[in-house]
Structure 1
Amino acid sequence: MAARAQPGSAASSIPTEALIQPEELVRIVQSGKSAKPLILQVGSNVLYAQAHIPGCEYAGAGSTESGRQQLRKRVDALPRNQLIVLYCGCCPWSHCPNVNPAYQELRAMGFTKVWVLYIASNFGTDWVDKGYPIAKGG
């Protein structure tokens, strides 16, 4: 999980140890282990409908108050040690307006195991084009 956000970027305050690379998440999702993370897409609902990680849920755009409210509602009843993986993929990491607010929201709620999928360019380039599994529809 050693990817570093660019200084001054929207995602730069996410600690390096909270980042997970796409290939690592694929291994976790495809493993036979029963304890899978809750994967939440916190970007555009349009992008989610076009292609998303199988088994993930749309949780609202992290950059908007209504999106963060949707995120809070989705996770409120979960144990605070639940492993949650957030991702967006709308644009290059250094410009993403969604992942950091969603990450900060979950941390403020007391969640202790929050990872953020490091998508350097966008979901199409860093996930779909690499042949990783996708689902479509919303």
Structure 2
Amino acid sequence: MMRKISIIASLVLGIFTLNIAQAQVTKEPWTAAELKSTEDLAKQINDPSAAQPVIINVGPQAVIKGSLDAGAAHEHGNIDQLKSILAKQDKNREVVLYCGCCPFEKCPNIRPAFTALKDQNFTKPRLLDIPKNIKTNWIDKGYPVN
């Protein structure tokens, strides 16, 4: 009986360990260097002498001043809309994607959108770092809106 319990415990522990290991190797499609802070983007938008990035919303609503709207990336056809917008852009221009519907770990839009951006071989792909949501991290701070 003890041997059966030991075997079952070993199997459960093995499965648990495997799941933890898989969770740890899950890799986001962006790097830390590809994240852009909301403060930095707001400063860039407000500085007429600064090079202006292409800013594309991949979430429910384009609220950032000057941003283009590709629509929520998880909805049918919107990745194609994003690719259509990107096809018209210089590959060496900075491209900033944002959603802001929720924190990154819950967002259904940023991963497919950022993957599509990277697949297009842009040299300066960026993801706007929105820790909570667009209201808290952009609008409430008084950053420029459409």
Which residue pairs with 2:140 in the alignment? 129
Map 1:49-68 onto structure 2 (within 5 A): 52-68=63-79
Paired with 1:75 and 1:11, the residues of 2 have a C-alpha distance of 24
Which residue pairs with 1:93 in the alignment? 104
Percent identity over paired residues: 35
Paired with 1:34 and 1:26, the residues of 2 have a C-alpha distance of 11
Q: TM-score, normalised by structure 2?
A: 0.76
CA contact (8 A) 1:12 1:94 kept: no
Once superposed, what is the RMSD of the aligned Cα atoms? 2.0
Structure 2 unmatched runs, 5+: 1-22
For the pair shown, the structure with the greater C-alpha radius of gyration is 2
Map 1:75-94 onto structure 2 (within 5 A): 75-94=86-105
Structure with greater helix percent:
2
Aligned structure 1 segments of 4 or more residues deviating by more than 6 angstroms: none
Paired with 1:11 and 1:33, the residues of 2 have a C-alpha distance of 36
Q: How many residues align?
A: 123
Which residue pairs with 1:113 in the alignment? 124
Secondary structure of 1:81's match? coil
Paired with 1:72 and 1:57, the residues of 2 have a C-alpha distance of 12
Instruction: State the structure with bigger RCO (CA 8 A, min sep 6), 1 or 2.
Output: 1
1:70 paired to 2:86: no
How far does the alpha carbon of each residue in 1:3-35 deviate from its partner, in whole angstroms, 9 at most, with x for none?
xxxx77x99332110001110101111112252
2:53 to 30, 34, 37: 37
